[in-house]
Amino acid sequence: MKSSQQPAPSTRLRLRLSPAAEKAVKSGHPWVFSESVRDQNREGRAGELAVIYSRDDKFLAVGLYDPASPLRVRIVHSGKPATLDAAWWQERLRLTLAKREGMFTAETNGYRCINGESDGWPGLVLDRYAGTLVLKLYSAAWLPRLEEVLEWLSAALKPDGIVLRLSRNITETAGRDFGLQEGIIRGDTEETVVFTENGLKFEAEVIHGQKTGFFLDQRENRRLVSHLSAGSNVLNAFSFSGGFSLYAANGGARRVTDLDISAHALAAGDRNFALNKTVRAIADCERQTVRADAFEWLASGPKASFDLVIVDPPSLAKREADRAGAITAYERLVVSALRRGRRGGVLVAASCSAHVSADEFFGAVERAALPWNTRRLWTSGHAPDHAVNFRE
């Protein structure tokens, strides 16, 4: 890593906020936006600790400062004053990992170890795939702290290798100011790592795949699908690497169709099926793949073909401005998906759009389903290793 850092300033970075932001921080919200900063004793550097005081000079919180981001401070501690030294961070790591203890059996060695803000590590995600850790950073504030973070992770989790992933908005800064790029940063691992989830084998493309290589957050929903699949003809729309389909096949589906626009995703699905061919139910399940735009394919194909239809599209609202359009698009998607389902069949609809609330999404599904005689069987959220504790 380049050591382009200036010597540390001798005074602590101190901030005061607007009344609304002060209230939000007091209530435990993890973000402070740049426009909420009212008063600051000096310029701050990326990753430095910023101490937030109330208007009557009481300590409120400490956070990671990022001068280049509209998300100016990401809170890591609030309440009583504390010294955030290495021992403090290591204790936070211990507590974070302890939350996952007992959550998984030996049949599952792919899961989220650190879930950003919700675990007190704002802008930092850590996923484990067997012996490989994938660290994904969403904030430049972690870049100057990376060496120490890697040291703590190595000591606590003893991985074979650690892969660094960077969100697009910090890639340039990481390269220019810190000489960092995505890839293996500690130990050794492969580009594609095989791990197990509820006893099924999957590949994670840890260096080049979406997110950290796999959609671990759907684990519990995939398990639900396996219980709904016996004897069924299943359509998995937006199938990615076939996660839902493998669970369906394992649950006794007669036939699964993987539908995705990406040939790469469908090929990953082929490999995941091959990895599990020793499982009788999976070997017996007939599988086909369709490479097409799922919105078009669902809207135009024959009616009433499938017993179980899964729709798990990518985020349809990347920005707040896309919210209304995304809700309408979900409605249309659900209408098409229901058309393709048989009477008495099941629809599994999922949304990963941060700007669309769960209630807005459920509302869209229910409005679309109104003309049909439907019943809501189940609603679910994130898997327990992905628990979230703030709205955004």
Task: Pick from 88, 89, 104, 295 the residue near ligand SAH by CB under 6 A.
Answer: 295
Q: Is 279 in the site for ligand SAH (CB under 6 A)?
A: no
Stretch that binds ligand SAH, among 43-51, 184-192, 288-296, 334-342 (CB under 6 A): 288-296
Cα torsion 82, 80, 123, 92: sign: positive
Q: Which of 359, 365, 368 is nearest to 377 (CA)?
A: 365
> Which is closer to ligand SAH, CB of 162 or CB of 333?
333
> Which is closer to ligand SAH, CB of 48 or CB of 260?
260
Determine how many CB atoms are found less than 10 A away from the CB of residue 83: 9
Q: Is 31 in the site for ligand SAH (CB under 6 A)?
A: no
Q: How many angstroms from the chain centroid is the CA of residue 179?
A: 26
Q: Helix 358-369 to helix 323-340 angle, to the nearest 10 degrees? A: 40
- The single residue listed with the structure tokens 């990481």 is 174
What whole-number distance in Å separates Cα of residue 244 and Cα of residue 224?
9
CA 37 → CA 32, 34, 63, 349, distances in Å?
8, 6, 13, 40
Q: How many residues does the chain have?
A: 392
Min separation Cβ 208 and ligand SAH, Å = 14
Residues 6+ apart with CB under 8 A from 389: 28, 117, 118
Task: Pick from 97, 150, 156, 261 the residue near ligand SAH by CB under 6 A.
Answer: 261
> Which is closer to ligand SAH, CB of 121 or CB of 247?
247
Q: Is the Cβ–Cβ distance between 331 and 295 less than 8 Å?
A: no
Task: Pick from 163, 265, 364, 383 the residue near ligand SAH by CB under 6 A.
Answer: 265
Task: Pick from 93, 113, 228, 294 the residue near ligand SAH by CB under 6 A.
Answer: 294
228-247 mask for ligand SAH (x: CB under 6 A)?
----------x-xx-xx---
Q: Is 260 in the site for ligand SAH (CB under 6 A)?
A: yes
Min separation Cβ 237 and ligand SAH, Å = 7
User: Which residues within the stretch 310-349 sit at the binding site for ligand SAH (CB under 6 A)?
Assistant: 312, 314
What whole-number distance in Å separates Cα of residue 139 and Cα of residue 108?
29
Residues in contact with ligand SAH by CB under 6 A are: 215, 218, 238, 240-241, 243-244, 260-262, 265, 293-295, 312, 314
